[in-house]
Amino acid sequence: MNHDAISCELHDFVEVACMYGYQLKLTLKDSQTMEGKAIDIICSTNTGECLVIDNQGTKQQIELTKLAKMEVTTPNSKFKEVIF
């Protein structure tokens, strides 16, 4: 089990993205990118906290500790980019 966590401030940005259903472009620490609509944050005993995104009907879970950058592509969003 991964006991690492992101800061509360960064967690708040992820929560806001889910609350507003923002379209996101995510860059992971391994340089992989993915896009989708922020749906929820879930907690798993195996992976820890994960962001759930919906990419054209396919739901994906991304561990919060693996995020490097979160870009919001939704127009008029509360924020545009967060670096983890």
Give the tens place of pLDDT for each residue, 6-51.
999 999 999 999 999 999 999 999 999 999 999 999 998 888 899 9
Residue 4 is predicted with a pLDDT of 74
User: Could you state, in order of their start, the residue ranges of all structural domains in the chain?
Assistant: 8-83
Q: Write the CB contacts of 58 (distance below 8 Å, at least 6 apart in sequence).
A: none
Residue 46 is predicted with a pLDDT of 85
Please, are residues 33 and 47 in contact by the beta-carbon 8 Å criterion? no
Nearest to 2 by CA among 68, 70, 84, 62: 62
Q: How far is CA 61 from the centre of its chain?
A: 9
Q: How far is CA 43 from the centre of its chain?
A: 13
Residue 63 is predicted with a pLDDT of 96
Please, are residues 28 and 69 in contact by the beta-carbon 8 Å criterion? no
Q: Is the pLDDT of residue 66 over 50?
A: yes
CATH class for the domain made up of 8-83? mainly beta
Determine the Cα–Cα distance for residues 1 and 23; give it in Å rounded to an integer: 29
Determine the Cα–Cα distance for residues 40 and 42; give it in Å rounded to an integer: 6
